[in-house]
Structure 1
């Protein structure tokens, strides 16, 4: 592995420079509109090699940006999924690129139909701060596999990671193939307005609306991965230790700063007390201490830390009971942004934490009177990016899958459906639109072009004017039934 000095970028990308890079990519694409399999494969291999060489530097950069990010969480959630996504694309790319035959209707024979997968051109990727490598490399992998060029706008909240990835990409690819843009909100807004051939944004629902509005000016198609309040439903008969342990992992990973983290739990009222006990025990086993525990990640910055503290203050003032999980009873001063996981009982819709995506280590528990009420609660609210159900009854599992809407589902687990390379990932409604990952990522960044082929033998003239002939009448009688 190569050691890299982690420093802040010398300067952010300016607007003129960003437009210049976009034009260079557009011109380069127009000069090579269909890179072949070997070219695409070589690009993916170079990306993989660069990431593997810089693993230690990536871990350190993210740790510095968070002021305390678990190295194992970076390996598990940023580096490993990125490498696996590239490996999956390399394994399947040749098959993805092959034209696919489609049936020709008898009326149009003799002929052939097929689908051709054509690169779109220049892809824009707006990357959030919570998993800055994974959520940059995953879309980039799909874009490169499909034969495109790409520009990535990194988050201003992770300046060291953004600067490092900018350096890695600059050393790996020419800027007319892949380039990384850094800067504040003004750069992000201008980036959204570039006439990309496709734009993928990962972030909040509110910002997603602005991105889509800007893209609409250019009729740029968008993929939006937006998050939302992902519910977890605990059944009446699932072993509570199973549900609590898996939920504790999903909520504490990256200190809850995950777009598909369980946002709240719907639990049968009579099971809440034992659930809290089981959850607390599971959390204490994973994190016997918090403040100086390198396994437990900090909140990304002071702004987000204050937001989360405000949620807790607001909930308590409105009648909630807060249960702070602090196994070592540590005292937290202003010198740390470590925030103990807090369970919130008696949460109501009047509280801020039940109105907005929490995106941190706070978990409201809402009492229900059975599965039907839990499903009604979910369905009365905006559709989430993920839904989790804990229960081994297959009839109940089927009911949850059929009678709820969400971008994705994990049954008796959390988070890991995101890491399945052979499944699409995306949202629905307020949680987003479009999919990527694996084959779906290749398709998202391709123009799936239908091609109808006729050769010298031609029978199409049977439908030419003048109309009303006997032959026309026979055709209508045969096919209009």
Structure 2
């Protein structure tokens, strides 16, 4: 497929436009792929994922410095394989025309909705889950009958090359194309006149992508981030909460858009939570420095940013609790130990920005209404996690808050649920994919209407002094 080598913005733009034109031309030759053909395309994708699973995991690990191979296999490859199975099972039913009601005035016409492919979808994937967040949208695009161009993050250079090699083995460039590179290439990609763009990344970059897409009136699905809070009811045992939160917070070393970003504990429960969190960490990661199961921070820029957050918190009076079971030196591996920040306040940097690392600020509360108000006064998060086994109380919190997802007594795992839509709201994104929404949001709901030989509207054509108008006035125009 394509890796851009030129430094000329004009030449890069020309190369990208050429690929897009090839894809649009190929789409026009077969604009409504059959269910059989779509399933065959998904089968090809599945075969590639299985064949190159080890190489994908190794390439991603290289980009991170160390990325737990198990996290890639379970969190990315397995999740994509399950998603393919789900779409193969359902897409035939989703493709069927949907009958709609026609009013009596227009009878005996028929009306229905035909779900038609959009054409060419642009996919802009981030570095934190480069396979899941490029292949996941691709699955939706192929199931909906589209062609696709995938822009891989420049921070995922090894993976990008591997993805290019693998997908070019399965698909011609005019069906699926991979674009590697950053800077000018990223900017030019977002300005292309796609039929839809799916972007996953930060809120700030999402704004620039949306601005670029608007120049061509390209609709966008934005999967952004934000600060996803955890709220714990006082009835919960801290042992249960700590294990579940630690598992989600430390997966990929916290470099997950739906990771718990900060936690509200009942007043006086911090010490108990910290103790159980330490136990959970020591069980999962008895050592860190050379532990292949504990992922590094992606690059120096992100590593230094997280350390600045911790320094700021400490200077602001917070208690920084590093959980490093063997007190190892971690800086040479670009790893940060699981860290709790007790006594966090809103003035601290780590409470003003999405953390995206293995750091969890802790705040305490007395009145749950104050926490609900705190969450509602801030940008709507991608996820809100509430811990409480009482369903009525959980429903109360859910009904009074907004978030892309509401999780009760769990974190993160909703992303891997094939039948649930995924996406944010407000500052955390717009649009959904996964589940049926992935198919329908990458399809055009084309309204269709057919009229037989009998043209019933002739009875209401001018002149407007016919007896039927008296009937219409008495029966309907009131």
Alignment TM-score, normalising by the size of structure 2:
0.96
Distance in 2, Cα, partners of 1:473 & 1:329 = 89
- Specify the SS of the correspondent of 1:159: helix
Is structure 2 residue 106 aligned with structure 1 residue 108?
yes
Distance in 2, Cα, partners of 1:320 & 1:463 = 76
Is structure 2 residue 182 aligned with structure 1 residue 178?
no
Q: Which residue of structure 2 aligns with residue 480 of structure 1?
A: 477
Conserved? CA contact 2:4–2:179, under 8 Å:
no
Distance in 2, Cα, partners of 1:254 & 1:367 = 26
- Specify the SS of the correspondent of 1:335: helix
Alignment of 1:78-89 (within 5 A): 78-89=76-87
Of residues 270-279 and 220-229 in structure 1, the stretch that sits farther from structure 2 once superposed is: 270-279
Conserved? CA contact 2:4–2:180, under 8 Å:
no
Distance in 2, Cα, partners of 1:413 & 1:468 = 67
Q: How many residues align?
A: 472
Q: Which residue of structure 1 aligns with residue 361 of structure 2?
A: 364
Distance in 1, Cα, partners of 2:254 & 2:66 = 14
Q: 2:17 aligns with which of 16, 19, 22?
A: 19
- Specify the SS of the correspondent of 1:436: coil
Quote how far apart the aligned CAs of 1:293 are: 1.0
Distance in 2, Cα, partners of 1:10 & 1:289 = 41
Q: Which residue of structure 1 aligns with residue 341 of structure 2?
A: 344
Conserved? CA contact 1:196–1:220, under 8 Å:
yes
Q: Which residue of structure 2 aligns with residue 304 of structure 1?
A: 302
Q: 1:237 aligns with which of 223, 230, 235?
A: 235
Q: CA RMSD in A?
A: 1.4
Q: Which residue of structure 2 aligns with residue 3 of structure 1?
A: none
Alignment of 1:178-327 (within 5 A): 178-327=176-325
Alignment of 1:360-439 (within 5 A): 360-439=357-436
- Specify the SS of the correspondent of 2:332: coil
Conserved? CA contact 2:60–2:158, under 8 Å:
yes
Distance in 1, Cα, partners of 2:178 & 2:29 = 22
Q: Deviations over 1:421-480 (max 9, x none)?
A: 111101000000000012111111100111122211221223222224331121132223
Q: Which residue of structure 2 aligns with residue 168 of structure 1?
A: 166
Alignment TM-score, normalising by the size of structure 1:
0.96
Q: Deviations over 1:309-333 (max 9, x none)?
A: 111111111111100111222223x
| Closer/same/farther in 2, CA of residues 23 and 273 from structure 1, 3 Å limit | same
Conserved? CA contact 1:33–1:119, under 8 Å:
yes
Conserved? CA contact 1:126–1:200, under 8 Å:
yes
Conserved? CA contact 1:12–1:183, under 8 Å:
no
- Specify the SS of the correspondent of 2:293: coil
Is structure 2 residue 460 aligned with structure 1 residue 455?
no
Quote how far apart the aligned CAs of 1:10 are: 9.4
Q: 2:50 aligns with which of 32, 49, 52?
A: 52
- Specify the SS of the correspondent of 2:111: strand
Q: Which residue of structure 1 aligns with residue 96 of structure 2?
A: 98
Is structure 2 residue 345 aligned with structure 1 residue 355?
no
Distance in 2, Cα, partners of 1:473 & 1:279 = 76
Q: Deviations over 1:299-355 (max 9, x none)?
A: 0111110110111111111111100111222223x4211110111112112111111
Which stretches in structure 2 are left out of the alignment for 5+ residues?
A: none
Q: Deviations over 1:31-73 (max 9, x none)?
A: 2211111211111110110110001101110111111111110
Distance in 1, Cα, partners of 2:6 & 2:327 = 42
Distance in 2, Cα, partners of 1:10 & 1:113 = 47
Distance in 1, Cα, partners of 2:163 & 2:426 = 32
Q: Which residue of structure 1 aligns with residue 65 of structure 2?
A: 67
Quote how far apart the aligned CAs of 1:104 are: 2.0
- Specify the SS of the correspondent of 2:462: coil
Q: Deviations over 1:136-159 (max 9, x none)?
A: 111001111111110000000010
Conserved? CA contact 1:114–1:451, under 8 Å:
yes
Conserved? CA contact 1:12–1:181, under 8 Å:
no
Q: Deviations over 1:217-245 (max 9, x none)?
A: 00000000001000010111011111111
Distance in 2, Cα, partners of 1:33 & 1:125 = 20
Distance in 2, Cα, partners of 1:142 & 1:192 = 19
Conserved? CA contact 2:116–2:444, under 8 Å:
yes
| Closer/same/farther in 2, CA of residues 372 and 50 from structure 1, 3 Å limit | same
Q: Deviations over 1:188-227 (max 9, x none)?
A: 1110000000000000000000000000000000000001
Distance in 1, Cα, partners of 2:215 & 2:95 = 31
Distance in 2, Cα, partners of 1:292 & 1:258 = 22
